[in-house]
Amino acid sequence: MNSQNIQLAKFAGFCYGVKRAVDTAKKIKAENPNKNIYVLGELIHNMDVIKELDDLGIKTIYEIPEKGEGICIVRSHGEAPEVFEKLEKAGFEVIDMTCLDVKKVQQRAIELAQNDYFVVIVGKSNHPEVIAIKANAEQYSDKVIVGTTIEEIQSYEKAIREHNKVGVVVQTTQMLSTLNTIVSYLNSISKEVLVHNTICQSTAKRQAEAKTLAQTSDLMVVVGSRKSANTTHLAEILKDITKTIHIENDSELNGLENIIQNANEIGITAGASTPENIINKVVSKIQSGKGEK
């Protein structure tokens, strides 16, 4: 269908923090070919990249052994302070690849806790980035909570009302609308609310550009892992604007031929942990075969 217009977003694929983590992991292995190189947890939420790293000899571990040997990389999501201590105690040489934007959130949360603010982290409680932010703040305060909905925060309303001041930080990949909803609620029950909008610029730009692209598209294709917070948020945002499909790679286009063929204007974007080669395969498949093999 020659009349189709397919447009790839400029801010699609690896963000600075993810690229830095992947490139550094490969560099560390190249410089230390005879050492064991590990990453605690998946370096990024993309199984193709995890497999590539594994093939290079960079192994993913999910638990800290009692005794370890070699180098262990802390991924871009960050970790709790006690995790760093455990890794060093086990005998690993630890290399901290926590994203610099995530480090800023941790520092803001620590400062709020140190200054006797009731700390509210707007984020998914089970996300590794949020777990690490919370653990850092909890070194200095027992008044630290997490949530993405008013309902989640409401269960702490009595404690929040009793405290004079509330400080807010937000998971770097969260949606601005979620932050605004929580802040509006907190303003209604608190005397003082100090907000640090710690959504990273890469996420903000990616979401803004994708929304603009969606407004002129019949179909948006979001490429990236379903375990990736920023990718799933992209899909959620775009579904409110136009027809949107979320796929992990080009193989998932199979069976979607009718949807693709019926769209004249197709926009494509991708999450921060989606490699360029996967994005390119999706673009090529849509251009040449409309989702067919």
129 catalytic residue (yes or no): yes
Rounded distance, CA 111 to CA 255, Å? 51
Decide if 206 contacts 272 (C-beta within 8 A): yes
Q: Is 49 exposed, middle or buried (0-12, 13-18, 19+ CB in 10 A)?
A: buried
Rounded distance, CA 10 to CA 205, Å? 10
The residue among 153, 141, 143 whose CA lies nearest residue 118 is: 143
**Where would I find the H helices in 32-127?**
47-55, 81-90, 100-114
E strand or H helix at 93: strand 93-96
Q: Looking at residue 65, what DSSP letter applies?
A: -
Where residue 270 falls (left for φ over 0; alpha for ψ -120 to 50; beta otherwise) is beta
The residue among 156, 119, 157, 154 whose CA lies nearest residue 136 is: 119
The residue among 84, 111, 110 whose CA lies nearest residue 97 is: 84
Which of 42, 79, 129, 248 is catalytic? The answer is 129
The catalytic site residues sit at: 129
